[in-house]
Amino acid sequence: MKPLRKAIFPVAGMGTRFLPATKSVPKEMLTVVDRPVIDYAVREAVEAGCDTLIFITGRSKQAIANYFDRSPELENELEEKNKTEALEIVRNIIPSHVNCIYIRQAEPLGLGHAVHCGAPLVHPDEYFAVLLPDDLIDGYQKGALQQMNEVHERTGSSVIALEQVSWDEVSQYGVVAPKNEHQIPIELAGIVEKPKREDAPSNWTVVGRYILNGKIMQLLETTQRGAGGEIQLTDGISELLKTETILGVPFSGKRFDCGSKAGFLEANLHFGLGLLKRGGR
């Protein structure tokens, strides 16, 4: 089995929940302490071994590409001023062996459609990762994707990250039907996007981390609009489940929903307090 190397970051969403800030700043560039939200997901992917980062972007998202580009003028200026610590930070945003590729999603037709925009770069027999930067995860001892990749390498299966939420919240998420929820990793019997509470097959919900068989790209080609009138990744995964085993991994770590104001503030408090405890300023 080939090692996991490619990671797709769908970042073409409108970010309406953060208006007016997102009128000019992509929500992925809002900062949690001193790093943009997207930086955390990128580090997690690189830590898990990915060296090809595919960003599915949309209008007014240029700031993301600028952030991951080298910046010779800034680097020269910092060097001349002997600001070595700042220079190191700017130079080490991503390691030099990592490539960033940007694809435009011309119309925001949904997460499944966004992932499918990466199809020309994914071979049907390779596994690739999808990371939704809104879900910022402070992994316990290692990153969530790394934890999932260990399960993927051991089993050869597609893997998705799971979290158990209160039954009041299930209708906001993709929800899985576990074959046996006491056996970890949890084998999926089904998956459904944003079900009503009374229809939800469990309270195990999908977190924005996936390792998927490249075959899903072909399935997404014909996936019809689903919940919210959008082409849903969950529906593609449901199709994939008809032909292969998919495992759910309840990762160890803390997740913050940085797509919401409350989650974003909580993430800032969590990482900010961590910095203060270490004596940082």
In the complex, least distance from residue 117 CB atom to ligand UTP, rounded to whole angstroms = 8
Nearest distance from C-beta of residue 115 to ligand UTP, angstroms: 8
Query: If binding is defined by CB under 6 A, does position 132 make contact with ligand UTP?
Result: yes
Instruction: Classify residue 115 by burial, with Cβ atoms within 10 Å: 0-12, 13-18, 19+.
Output: buried
Q: Is residue 185 part of the contact set for ligand UTP (CB under 6 A)?
A: no
* Interaction of residue 10 with ligand UTP, rule CB under 6 A: yes
User: Does residue 27 contact residue 18 with C-beta atoms inside 8 Å?
Assistant: yes
Based on the shown chain and the rule CB under 6 A, indicate whether residue 134 belongs to the binding site for ligand UTP. Answer: yes
The only residue of 15, 143, 174, 236 in contact with ligand UTP, by rule CB under 6 A: 15
Q: Residues 6 or more apart from 205 whose CB is under 8 A from it?
A: 162, 163, 164, 165, 169, 170, 173, 174, 175, 176
| Residues 6 or more apart whose Cβ sits within 8 Å of residue 254 | 137, 138, 140, 270
On whether the CB atoms of residues 129 and 117 are closer than 8 A, the answer is no
Of 74-82, 102-110, 160-168, 238-246, the window that binds ligand UTP (rule: CB under 6 A) is 102-110
Q: How far is CA 271 from the centre of its chain?
A: 19
- Residue 103 touching ligand UTP (CB under 6 A): no
Q: How far is the CB of 84 from ligand UTP (least distance, A)?
A: 35
Region near ligand UTP per CB under 6 A, out of 105-113, 143-151, 191-199, 212-220: 105-113
Extract the runs of DSSP E, i.e. beta strands, from 147-238.
Answer: 158-164, 174-178, 186-193, 204-213
98 binds ligand UTP (CB under 6 A): no
Which span (131-139, 152-160, 173-181, 236-244) binds ligand UTP, by CB under 6 A? 131-139
User: 85, 117, 103, 126: which is closest to 214 by C-alpha?
Assistant: 126
CB of 58 to ligand UTP, least distance (A): 7
184: helix, coil or strand?
coil
Residues contacting 9, CB < 8 A, separation 6+: 38, 41, 42, 45, 53, 54, 55, 56, 130, 131, 132, 133
d(CA 209, CA 68): 21
Least distance in angstroms from the C-beta of 199 to ligand UTP: 20
Among 30, 75, 108, 250, binds ligand UTP (CB under 6 A): 108
| Residue 217 touches ligand UTP, criterion: CB under 6 A | no
Q: To the nearest whole angstrom, how small is the minimum distance from the Cβ of residue 222 to ligand UTP?
A: 17
At its nearest, how many Å lie between ligand UTP and the CB of residue 191? 16
Interaction site with ligand UTP (CB under 6 A): 10-17, 56, 105, 108-111, 113-114, 132-134, 259
